Homo-oligomer: A and B are copies of this chain.
Amino acid sequence: MSFQNPVFIPGPTNIPESLRKACDMPTIDHRSPLFGQILHPARQGVSKVLKSEQAEIFIFPSTGTGGWETALTNTLSPGDKVLAARNGMFSHRWIDMCQRHGLDVEIIETPWGDGLPANRYREILGADRDHRIKAVLATHNETATGVKSDIGALRHALDQAGHPAMLFVDGVSSIGSMDFRFDEWGVDIAVTGSQKGFMLPAGLAIVGFSAKAMAATQTGTLPRTFFDIHDMAKGYANNAYPYTPAVGLLNGLNEACTMLLNEGLGNVFQRHHRIAEGVRAAVHAWGLELCATDPSVYSDTVSAIRTPAGFNATDIVTHAAEKYGVAFGVGLGEVAGKVFRIGHLGSLTDVMALSGIATAEMCMADLGLDIRLGAGVAAAQEYYRATPSIAQRNAA
């Protein structure tokens, strides 16, 4: 195995040196007070990253998918109705999970490339006079299409409709990289993982529950044990877990939050935006289009790039891996073969981004696309030169 080049998949991200060291920890007794000194600061750090003063944070040895299941099984009962839009592979999968757990999902089919349609949410919620809908599901950032959605607008839709449904938000590929406002947006459950904005290896499902969501756990009857937040809360009260925690990853999470908060969340988000803008400048210079249909929904963590009709975009990903040892993301589901994805989140500099852009150019040229070598790189260089990051401005 060679580990020389950065990865450009939309998570897991490149792991900063300090986080690798934080995770690589000797065994400690996870029932000792020492463990509490890792667990509680990590949970508080997550709260701050969520911009929440009230969320209860629970962290499972699992992944974002386990976080979805935590959200559903702790609060809902078989047959409960939920409302969700499907605009990409990850929103699709969460809907699928609902159905497999016997929930009744009203699906808003949405073009892949569009953001979540707040208007449609509002119409449906407004029409649901009996408040049969218990939860509204929203994917903040569709990793498959590189589309971010306006969660504040969904909250507004709920408020306008005067609807009491809970708002569950998948922030797996946004939290820690793009602005997320748990309290301001009235989010009831936020779900994320360790391997994206937190820049850690995969292995943690991280969820935040509002007071309303906590109350719903008293009535939800879906079966659960591993993902039961009451067992978890009872453990936390004793500096412990209901089973064996992933101590090293939690130590890494604590350190990751410290890193992000020390940098300043605003700076973190601006840094992601800057790197993303450079990538988008390259895409434009190549004469290609993003899957995301409008700048207002461009994701700052991942770009899904449409290739010309008749060209299999997956070939780029395969070729980049085989010839250049560089990992991009393939298109998934409806956009399989039509897009390739450049992940640009986490621990990534402009210099690293340029190497990814240069690689994509070589791949496209190798595969016969009409791409001028250096064109995308030059566009990104121009943007990066002219738009120093906050850290660069501070250093100057």
Assess whether A270 is interfacial by the CB under 8 Å rule. no
Contacts of A358 in B (CB 8 A): 351, 354-355, 358, 377, 381
Chain A interface bracket (under 10, 10 to 19, 20 to 34, 35 or more): 35 or more
Given contacts A9-B29, A12-B27, A13-B27, 10 further A-B pairs with CB under 8 A are A1-B34, A12-B30, A65-B243, A68-B226, A100-B228, A201-B247, A202-B246, A325-B351, A351-B355, A352-B355
Query: At the interface, is chain A mostly helix, strand, loop or mixed?
Result: loop
Assess whether A153 is interfacial by the CB under 8 Å rule. no
Question: Can you name 24 A-B pairs with beta carbons within 8 Å?
Answer: A1-B34, A2-B16, A4-B348, A7-B28, A9-B31, A20-B24, A25-B201, A31-B329, A32-B321, A62-B226, A64-B243, A64-B244, A65-B225, A65-B243, A323-B395, A324-B349, A351-B355, A351-B359, A354-B354, A355-B355, A365-B385, A366-B385, A373-B378, A373-B385
Residue of B whose beta carbon sits closest to that of A321: B32
Given A247-B202, A326-B351, A350-B324: A16 and B29 interface contact (C-beta under 8 Å): no
- Closest beta carbon of chain B to A155's beta carbon, Å: 27
Q: Which of B96, B226, B355 contacts A69 (CB 8 A)?
A: B226
Assess whether A184 is interfacial by the CB under 8 Å rule. no
Query: In the bound complex, do residue B26 and residue A24 qualify as a contact, i.e. CB atoms below 8 Å apart?
Result: no
Contacts of A324 in B (CB 8 A): 349-351, 392
Contacts of A372 in B (CB 8 A): 378
Assess whether A130 is interfacial by the CB under 8 Å rule. no
Interface residues of A (CB under 8 A from B): 1-5, 7, 9, 11-17, 20-21, 23-32, 34, 37, 61-66, 68-69, 73, 78, 96-97, 100-102, 193, 195, 201-203, 222-228, 242-249, 321-327, 329-330, 347-352, 354-355, 358-359, 361-362, 365-366, 372-375, 377-378, 381-382, 384-385, 388, 392, 395-396
Given A355-B352, A361-B381, A378-B373: A65 and B396 interface contact (C-beta under 8 Å): no
- Closest beta carbon of chain B to A60's beta carbon, Å: 8
Query: In the bound complex, do residue A15 and residue B4 qualify as a contact, i.e. CB atoms below 8 Å apart?
Result: no
A373 to B372, CA, bound (A): 13
Query: In the bound complex, do residue B225 and residue A97 qualify as a contact, i.e. CB atoms below 8 Å apart?
Result: yes
A9 to B351, CA, bound (A): 16
Query: In the bound complex, do residue A330 and residue B381 qualify as a contact, i.e. CB atoms below 8 Å apart?
Result: no
A195 to B348, CA, bound (A): 26
A280 to B24, CA, bound (A): 33
Contacts of A325 in B (CB 8 A): 349, 351
Q: Which of B11, B13, B28 contacts A327 (CB 8 A)?
A: B28
Contacts of A69 in B (CB 8 A): 225-226
Query: In the bound complex, do residue A382 and residue B392 qualify as a contact, i.e. CB atoms below 8 Å apart?
Result: no
Contacts of A362 in B (CB 8 A): 381, 384-385
Contacts of A385 in B (CB 8 A): 362, 365-366, 373
Q: Which of B37, B100, B321, B375 contacts A29 (CB 8 A)?
A: B321
Query: In the bound complex, do residue A32 and residue B327 qualify as a contact, i.e. CB atoms below 8 Å apart?
Result: yes
Query: In the bound complex, do residue B381 and residue A374 qualify as a contact, i.e. CB atoms below 8 Å apart?
Result: yes
- Closest beta carbon of chain B to A79's beta carbon, Å: 12
Query: In the bound complex, do residue B27 and residue A7 qualify as a contact, i.e. CB atoms below 8 Å apart?
Result: yes
Contacts of A25 in B (CB 8 A): 3, 201
